[in-house]
């Protein structure tokens, strides 16, 4: 890790890369907050949603730049993202959906859908098919990521099913 | 449970209480709450409101519930829940309400008043949503390697998209499928037009950002969660929704590009 930071700090190219990464994370945060507004998330949870989206994108970027495997990146990112939203849900005593639905938007294969459409209509079926397959693989990877994260028992996140939880609310 | 709540429960007719419980579940489901949440909230409410033998079967677009009335008859309700836009602040409020009900702090009349209030709740006005859609499009355009110039055009496209969805789409009452195709067609045409007058560096990236608010992230996530809860029927309903939405975006964008190519002779600039 230290070596990596040194490499980044020592040459100018590294600095621009670091800046780009920061800007990307900021964009992921802002984008997720914007979507949380679209889905009418209560104001007090919006920044938490943004953090979820930013962390998801950070994991995706990291794995993608180290291994060049977007599918595995999407899998890991959605797993981390789901774990984060479950943790936040317990902290805020709010439904997990709120954080998960907004955060996951950074990973949805919007680009894949677009390229599939583009090449289909340009008459390049082979390219379109390969993009289509990639899109489906991404979707399955996201699904599996959520699945893995949901298999973690909820007591890990400090969730109690006993009615005390219901009673201590105001 | 205090005396007042107990009294109001006894005052209220069984029919009314049964209706309230189903309405609670319906509201959670229609605003984007999970199926298990709707189910559990109904079970808790039914226990507190003393509905005998209450049982519910909840799927993605319907609620079937029964309860024993007067200790003799089974009474049942079937409730169709349409696929509606997600309003998460209502789910959050309903979640709080459900906690209060379960703790016995909320009588039937109060529940009804709260439901009336929550059903009208909104966390952001139309203008804020239109602006947010633009910002969302712009940041996703940037995330997918667009330049700042692209992001600016995507911002305009996102605004146009939500203007269309909020003001134009409800007037021409069409099915979800046609609405999605039309929306992506409109937004893709807009992108082509902007690009051809010199706004933006890369058409691909502008378009990716612009159609992002339509992308089926929500049905996909919900579908996966339903499959994980062994609820294959609801999972299938939502999976079909996700794939149809993706297909609609593809058709809309593709058609727009075809039209633009034919109309302008295939030269973008």
ipTM, interface predicted TM-score of the complex? 0.86
pLDDT of the residue at A166: 47
Q: Which residue has the higher pLDDT, A40 or A165?
A: A40
- The residue-averaged pLDDT of A18-29 equals 90
Residue B12 CA to its chain's centroid (Å): 32
Q: In what order do the strands lie in the sheet containing B73-80? A: B52-59, B62-69, B73-80
Between CA B191 and CA A43 the distance in angstroms is 31
Three-state DSSP class for residue B75 = strand
Q: What angle do CA B97, B103, B108 make, to 5 degrees?
A: 60
Taking only the tens place, the pLDDT of each residue in A128-138 is: 999 999 999 99
Nearest CA to B98 out of B20, B44, B54 is that of B44
Between CA B147 and CA A24 the distance in angstroms is 11
Strands B62-69 and B52-59: antiparallel
Mutate to test the interface with B, among A28, A53, A95 (most CBs of B within 10 A): A95
pLDDT of the residue at A47: 92
Q: Are the beta carbons of B88 and A101 closer than 8 angstroms?
A: yes
Between CA A126 and CA B58 the distance in angstroms is 42
Between CA B48 and CA B63 the distance in angstroms is 20
Nearest CA to B63 out of B41, B39, B88 is that of B39
Q: Inter-chain contact A114–B34, Cβ cutoff 8 Å? A: no
Nearest CA to A104 out of A145, A132, A65 is that of A145
Residue A72 has pLDDT above 80, yes or no: yes
Structure tokens at B96: 């709080």
Q: Inter-chain contact A98–B88, Cβ cutoff 8 Å? A: yes
pLDDT of the residue at A167: 45
Residue A30 has pLDDT above 90, yes or no: yes
Per-domain residue ranges of chain B = 3-119, 126-264
The answer, for A153 touching chain B at a CB cutoff of 8 Å, is no
Alpha-carbon dihedral sign for residues A119, A120, A121, A122: positive
Per-window interface: A 87-146 vs B, CB < 8 A: 93-98, 100-101, 104-111, 113-118, 120-121, 135, 139, 142-143, 146
pLDDT of the residue at B1: 66
Residue A118 has pLDDT above 90, yes or no: no
Q: Are the beta carbons of A23 and B142 closer than 8 angstroms?
A: yes
Cross-strand bridge partners of residue B80: B62
**Closest approach of B16 to chain A, Cα-based (Å):** 24
List of chain B residues whose C-beta atoms are within 8 Å of the C-beta of residue A150? 225, 228
Between CA B80 and CA B61 the distance in angstroms is 6
CA distances in angstroms from B19 to A63, A136, B1, B16, B68, listed in the order given: 51, 42, 21, 5, 13
Structure tokens at B23: 């309405």
Residue B213 CA to its chain's centroid (Å): 13
pLDDT of the residue at A5: 60
Residue A13 has pLDDT above 80, yes or no: no
DSSP assignment of A23-72 equals HHHHHHHHHHHHHHHHTT--GGGHHHHHHHHHHHHHHHHHHHHHH--HHH
pLDDT of the residue at A4: 57
Q: Are the beta carbons of B257 and B184 closer than 8 angstroms?
A: no
Between CA B28 and CA B37 the distance in angstroms is 8
Between CA B129 and CA B167 the distance in angstroms is 12
Nearest CA to A140 out of A102, A112, A99 is that of A112
pLDDT of the residue at A35: 92
Structure tokens at A136: 């489906």
**What b/e readout covers A73-82, taking b as 16+ CB neighbours within 10 angstroms?**
bbbbbbbbbb
- The residue-averaged pLDDT of A81-99 equals 91
User: pLDDT tens per residue, chain B (269 residues)?
Assistant: 677 788 888 888 888 889 999 999 999 999 988 898 999 999 999 988 888 889 999 998 899 999 988 878 888 889 898 888 889 999 999 999 998 888 888 888 889 999 999 998 888 888 999 999 999 999 999 988 888 899 999 999 999 999 998 888 888 877 889 999 999 999 999 998 898 888 888 888 899 999 988 888 888 889 988 998 888 999 999 999 998 999 999 899 989 988 888 887 765 55
pLDDT of the residue at A81: 93
Taking only the tens place, the pLDDT of each residue in A36-59 is: 999 999 989 999 999 999 999 999
Residue A100 has pLDDT above 70, yes or no: yes
pLDDT of the residue at A9: 60
Q: How confident is the model at residue A158 (pLDDT cuts 50, 70, 90)?
A: confident
Please list the helix, strand and coil fractions of chain B in percent, rounded to the nearest 5, in that order.
70, 10, 25
Between CA A35 and CA B143 the distance in angstroms is 14
Residue A118 CA to its chain's centroid (Å): 25
- The residue-averaged pLDDT of A103-114 equals 87
The answer, for A31 touching chain B at a CB cutoff of 8 Å, is yes
Residue B120 CB neighbour total at 10 angstroms: 7
pLDDT of the residue at A168: 42
pLDDT of the residue at A137: 92
Residue A16 has pLDDT above 90, yes or no: no
pLDDT of the residue at A162: 52
**Closest approach of A35 to chain B, Cα-based (Å):** 6
């Amino acid at each position: 890790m230290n070596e990596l930071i040194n490499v980044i700090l020592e040459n100018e190219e590294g600095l621009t890369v670091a800046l780009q990464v920061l800007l990307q994370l900021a964009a992921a945060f802002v984008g997720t907050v914007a979507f949380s507004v679209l889905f009418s998330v209560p104001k007090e949870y919006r920044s938490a949603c943004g953090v979820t989206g930013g962390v998801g994108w950070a994991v995706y970027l990291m794995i993608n730049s180290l291994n060049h495997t977007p599918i595995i990146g999407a899998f890991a990112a959605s797993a981390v993202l789901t774990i984060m939203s479950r943790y936040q849900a317990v902290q805020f005593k709010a439904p997990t959906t709120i954080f998960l639905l907004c955060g996951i938007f950074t990973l949805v294969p919007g680009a894949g859908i677009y390229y599939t459409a583009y090449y289909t209509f340009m008459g390049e079926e082979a390219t379109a098919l390969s993009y289509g397959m990639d899109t489906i693989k991404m979707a399955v990877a996201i699904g599996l990521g959520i699945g893995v994260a949901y298999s973690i028992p909820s007591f890990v996140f400090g969730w109690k099913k006993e009615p005390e939880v219901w009673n201590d609310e105001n | 449970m205090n005396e007042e709540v107990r009294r109001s429960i006894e005052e209220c007719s069984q029919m009314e209480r049964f209706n309230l419980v189903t309405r609670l579940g319906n509201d959670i489901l229609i605003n984007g709450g999970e199926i298990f949440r709707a189910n559990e909230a109904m079970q808790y409410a039914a226990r507190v409101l003393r509905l005998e033998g209450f049982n519910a079967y909840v799927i993605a677009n319907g609620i079937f519930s029964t309860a024993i009335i007067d200790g003799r008859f089974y009474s049942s309700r079937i409730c169709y829940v349409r696929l509606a836009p997600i309003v998460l602040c209502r789910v959050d409020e309903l979640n709080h309400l459900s906690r209060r009900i379960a703790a016995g702090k909320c009588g039937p009349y109060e529940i009804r008043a709260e439901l009336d209030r929550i059903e009208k709740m909104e966390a952001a006005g139309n203008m804020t949503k239109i602006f947010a859609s633009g910002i969302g499009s712009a940041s996703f355009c940037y995330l997918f390697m667009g330049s700042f110039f692209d992001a600016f055009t995507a911002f305009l496209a996102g605004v146009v998209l939500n203007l269309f969805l909020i003001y134009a789409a409800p007037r021409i009452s069409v099915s979800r499928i046609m609405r999605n195709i039309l929306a992506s067609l409109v937004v893709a045409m807009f992108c082509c037009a902007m690009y051809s007058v010199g706004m933006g560096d890369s058409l691909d990236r502008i378009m990716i950002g612009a159609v992002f608010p339509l992308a089926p992230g929500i049905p996909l996530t919900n579908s996966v969660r339903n499959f994980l809860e062994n609820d294959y029927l609801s999972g299938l309903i939502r999976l079909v929704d996700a794939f149809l939405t993706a297909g609609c975006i593809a058709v809309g964008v593709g058609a727009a590009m075809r039209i633009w190519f034919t109309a302008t002779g295939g030269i973008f600039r």
